[in-house]
Structure 1
């Protein structure tokens, strides 16, 4: 007989008796690439360029001399091109174009809902000359990732239909309140579109409904995609490699600026703050029609819902939690961009945050020496005058959303 502890251990192990989490670190040195002389400098320099690209993205979000109005309540549909075109080989997207796009789509959904806790996202796929809605607008990350990982949803077939996908997203976004943004982001691989009607009519409908369409081309530039983005005030990009795809997706995470005309018409937004409730017996969720024993009750009509944020399907009241509202605060008051300190102005101390609390090893020192070839590698907060390394600069702006030195309250 097999002991219970051994059975539990066996269920957590894969091939070779290793734990599943250990597999990610097996032969991790194979990812290193040497140049013709056997040096790793080129590989480390590529990692440094990736870090610097992330800092440029941080500067683009926070370096604004004029305060920008941003819509914190976002509603976005992510459209995936699941036609045969995404199954075609591409040397710039590895291991395959399909796997690369679906993996980055999962990362984007998780990042989007983390940065926009008051936002909702939905998934739509286009193939076989039509379009299919994978998930409704919701803030449940697990539901979206499960839909992407579903094997039946990962089978590319036929031709895409850009018009059908945009029409499905448009009809779903019509019910979004005026104070929420209406956005569509398309990951498009094909160079054709199989539409049942005149796509120009769809473009005019999108403009009339104030829906912003942005498209990321995975193959080559298409005139119709560029025209759609121009008419709906979206952004059109054609990627060059996987790193460029990550950067373009990251640029769509932060809330876009709200137009001055729309800002002038905004008024007070009525919201409800329901508390989590445990029900004695399973109760049907009004949003998904599924039984649940832990959920929320609308404070106005007592309707049961399973997750926040959402709009009450009965009385249309916007339902959020105070925690989600607090997590959106940094969009209105972002951390000011840190100023790069020239190499000639170096001081004895290096970084206030994590890098100063650990023993720096030789590899870390060489990492920063390579960064210094492209910049000083030191950045200073304009308020508290503390110094930070590149990693800590990115950490403060992308994850912490606060300056460690300003939070400490001590100035130099």
Structure 2
């Protein structure tokens, strides 16, 4: 695979030729922030990993079973892990494919090379697997016109955004909550 770095720039001043050239050469984006809120929105777009160029494929993973072992030989005898070739006195994880013991996860099984993970590791990476749709800044409107946040119901005239996927209009606070806490769009 031909992997390369993609450089994007958020400028606080007018465009610089050298930065624009680097952005064009790497396929990134160039933006100029016009306000603190606009800067935060532009930064937020870069927190979500870009879409992969290649099509998705399944990765076979194993969810090992944790097995206790007793270092005093009173119950289960100590078990030698396959990754370090040392006796483990408390517990090991058993590979579901080849039944080899390993002392820690996540790791590739040293015998069959199956990636061994636990559900906590998958939860931590969930937001990168299922990335949030992008939001587009809404233009400022003059009172008495306003937008209504489709998440909390408040009216706002500036600082809002629209989900590019479900077209929900949201206020700044709900936008930040969706991106920083929920990590998904409630409207989608």
Give the TM-score taking structure 1 as reference length: 0.28
CA distance in 2, matches of 1:315, 1:63: 31
CA distance in 2, matches of 1:63, 1:267: 17
CA distance in 2, matches of 1:303, 1:59: 43
Q: Does 1:337 align with 2:150?
A: no
User: Is there any run of 5+ residues in structure 2 with no aligned partner, and where?
Assistant: 1-34, 72-77
User: Is there any run of 5+ residues in structure 1 with no aligned partner, and where?
Assistant: 1-47, 70-257, 357-371, 407-412
Which residue does the alignment assign to 1:278?
Answer: 68
Which residue does the alignment assign to 2:21?
Answer: none
Q: Which of 89, 107, 131 matches 1:310?
A: 107
CA distance in 2, matches of 1:277, 1:384: 49
Q: How many residues align?
A: 143
Residue 316 of structure 1: how far off its partner (Å): 1.7
Residue 311 of structure 1: how far off its partner (Å): 0.4
CA 1:307 to 1:351, structure 2 compared with 1: closer, same or farther past 3 Å? Answer: farther
Q: Is the 8 A contact 1:271 1:319 kept in 2?
A: yes
Which residue does the alignment assign to 2:151?
Answer: 352
Higher helix share: 1
Q: Is the 8 A contact 2:149 2:169 kept in 1?
A: no
Residue 326 of structure 1: how far off its partner (Å): 5.7
Residue 381 of structure 1: how far off its partner (Å): 2.5
Which residue does the alignment assign to 2:178?
Answer: 396
CA 1:351 to 1:279, structure 2 compared with 1: closer, same or farther past 3 Å? Answer: farther
Q: Is the 8 A contact 1:273 1:319 kept in 2?
A: yes
CA 1:344 to 1:54, structure 2 compared with 1: closer, same or farther past 3 Å? Answer: closer
| 1:56-75 to 2 correspondences below 5 Å | 56-60=42-46, 68-69=51-52
CA distance in 1, matches of 2:174, 2:122: 25
For the residue of structure 2 that corresponds to 1:339, the secondary structure is strand
Q: Which of 34, 38, 41 matches 1:55?
A: 41
Which residue does the alignment assign to 1:377?
Answer: 159
CA distance in 1, matches of 2:150, 2:95: 47
Q: Is the 8 A contact 2:150 2:168 kept in 1?
A: no
Q: Is the 8 A contact 1:270 1:317 kept in 2?
A: yes
- 1:218-264, CA deviations, whole angstroms, 9 ceiling, x for partnerless residues? xxxxxxxxxxxxxxxxxxxxxxxxxxxxxxxxxxxxxxxx6x5xx6x
Residue 400 of structure 1: how far off its partner (Å): 2.2
Give the TM-score taking structure 2 as reference length: 0.53
| 1:211-290 to 2 correspondences below 5 Å | 260=54, 269-281=59-71, 283-287=79-83, 289=86
CA distance in 2, matches of 1:401, 1:292: 40
Which structure is higher in RCO with an 8 Å CA cutoff and minimum separation 6?
1
Q: Is the 8 A contact 2:95 2:116 kept in 1?
A: yes
CA distance in 2, matches of 1:350, 1:268: 38
Residue 277 of structure 1: how far off its partner (Å): 3.1
Q: Is the 8 A contact 1:286 1:304 kept in 2?
A: yes
For the residue of structure 1 that corresponds to 2:176, the secondary structure is helix
CA 1:269 to 1:333, structure 2 compared with 1: closer, same or farther past 3 Å? Answer: closer
Residue 295 of structure 1: how far off its partner (Å): 3.9
CA distance in 2, matches of 1:402, 1:340: 17
Q: Is the 8 A contact 1:330 1:401 kept in 2?
A: yes
